[in-house]
Amino acid sequence: MTFSHSNIIELNSVDSTNNYAMNQIDAGLAGHGYAVMALSQTSGKGQRGRIWQDEPGKSLLMSLVVAPKFSLDHQFLFNATITVAIAKVLQKSVPGAVVNIKWPNDIIINDKKTAGILIENVLRGANWNFSVIGLGVNVFQESFPDILPHATSLKLNRGAIADLKILAEDIRTAILAAHDNYPTHDSIMAQYNSFLFRKNEFQRFSKNGLEHSAKILEATGKGTLKVIAPDGTTTEYIHGDFTWEY
């Protein structure tokens, strides 16, 4: 099933756009290119079971269904392709700002988080049928609660965004084009690492209550983050094994 460029389902409120898209897939009503956006989510999903918080009408809350051309062992390359496509759209929206990707797929603008991405896969046996790309972008917010000291929005960075629907269509188009015309694996990772947040800088991490610093070198095609410790030891981190400390 294929959907036209302008086919973005718009909802006032939903528990989660990812849940909605998943249900549409299960009902046979959604395929490659299907997208849904909502003005508000009551149970928005973040990474590792976290909740995505939003003010109604001020965030782009969208899920896009993609039928991956990638093999299952190249899931991070798929993630990198999607994340770079989104980063490029947001980069155009905030001229002069520094746009980065915080491994594995948060979008950072001027050192603060602006967008989060959650990709959920639909597998049928060994077949990777669909991915649901959930995206939350802070767009029109002018302030954030104290519990979110490292958050920002496109508006706070002078982003020229007139309408959430236009931004949604721009991102949908960019993701589908990047996926359908993806370059070599090396090119994907080169682009991803060109956006990598704090690349070649020392970053504090913690694991099991113990904090340490390591210099970020690059993200790898298999999804690990390659770092080097002050003593020269090189390690590859797996997402979820440590906490990033601001």
Instruction: Kindly tell me if the per-residue pLDDT of 122 is higher than 80.
Output: yes
* One domain, residues 140 and 231: no
Question: What domain range includes position 214?
Answer: 202-245
pLDDT above 90: percentage of residues in the chain: 80
Reported confidence tier of residue 45, pLDDT bands at 50, 70, 90: low
* One domain, residues 141 and 52: yes
Average pLDDT, the chain: 91
Instruction: Kindly tell me if the per-residue pLDDT of 48 is higher than 60.
Output: no
pLDDT at site 146: 87
193 and 218 in contact (C-beta within 8 Å)?
Answer: yes
Q: How far apart are the first and last CA of the chain?
A: 43
Residue 162 lies in a domain: yes
Q: What would the pLDDT profile of 69-112 be if each residue is shown by its tens digit?
A: 999 999 999 999 999 999 999 999 998 999 999 999 999 999 99
pLDDT at site 46: 53
Residue 1 lies in a domain: no
* One domain, residues 62 and 119: yes
Instruction: Please identify, among 151, 172, 194, the residue that sits at the C-terminal boundary of a domain.
Output: 194
User: The pTM is what?
Assistant: 0.92
Q: What would the pLDDT profile of 189-220 be if each residue is shown by its tens digit?
A: 999 999 999 999 999 999 998 999 999 999 99
Q: What would the pLDDT profile of 135-177 be if each residue is shown by its tens digit?
A: 999 999 999 988 888 999 999 998 777 789 999 999 999 999 9
pLDDT at site 246: 83
CATH code, domain carrying 52 = 3.30.930.10
CATH code, domain carrying 214 = 2.30.30
The mean per-residue pLDDT over the stretch 212-239 comes to 96
Going by C-alpha positions, the residue among 189, 243, 241, 187 that lies closest to residue 220 is 189
* One domain, residues 176 and 221: no
pLDDT above 70: percentage of residues in the chain: 93
pLDDT at site 3: 39
Domain count of the fold of the chain: 2
Reported confidence tier of residue 126, pLDDT bands at 50, 70, 90: confident
Instruction: Kindly tell me if the per-residue pLDDT of 2 is higher than 90.
Output: no
Burial of 38 (C-beta count, 10 Å sphere; 0-12/13-18/19+): buried
